[in-house]
Amino acid sequence: MDYPNLAQISDQLESANSRDRMVALAHLRNVPAEEAVPLIKKVLDDPSLQVRSMAVFALGVKQTDECYPILVKLLETDPDYGIRADAAGALGYLEDARAFESLVRTFYEDTQWLVRFSAAVALGNIKDPRARQVLTQALDSEEIVVQQAAISALGEIKAIEAVDDILRFAQSPDWLVRQRLAEALGNLPTDKSQSALKFLAKDSHSQVAQAASISLNRLQEATKPA
């Protein structure tokens, strides 16, 4: 594959026009991580929040040994809550279990729901079973999107012990909550999960019913005798 001209991208990242800098970051898509990360670092303190956001996201995709400590520092210290949320999301992309403590601490201590939402999603992405306790507590969040993230993440980490905790959302008035529940139950093979999925497969919202049917099929396939 022919890679973009790195010198040109480097120059473009120093353009006075923020759009040019964003285009330059986009051009790094096909550049190997070891070469891309030094260029991404050039705009981590960019005056444009959009550029910074793109750069932080890119660190989760272009993974080198440098990315993890940079993202943890941003998560824990950046004054902008959007960047902290981006850093949490990027740590989830890294799927690095070392991020567990930082993500849990962020969930408990950050006052911005968007950051807490991103931390919950990331805890699911890194698939660390130790996250069950914090994710179960996240189910009681006042923010529905945080509840959704927690339900999904409990499914991602295959927290069988949490089935009873998430089943209380089977009749949630929010169809997205019910859909997340249907998807999560597909990763949690218990008799209660199957019963709930049969119930959700008749849901009035087509996307909930479809998700439940897919999950039910998955559980039934998984329990078939070899």
Task: Judge contact between 116 and 85, C-beta under 8 A.
Answer: no
| 119-153 burial: b if 16+ Cβ within 10 Å, else e | bbbbbbbbebeebbebbbebbebeeebbbbbbbbb
Give the model confidence (pLDDT) of 68-116 as tens digits: 999 999 999 999 999 999 999 999 999 999 999 999 999 999 999 999 9
Structure token pair of residue 221: 């396939």
Q: How far apart are CA 225 and CA 2, in angstroms?
A: 49
Residue 1 has pLDDT above 90, yes or no: no
pTM, to two decimals: 0.91
Per-residue DSSP letter, 97: G
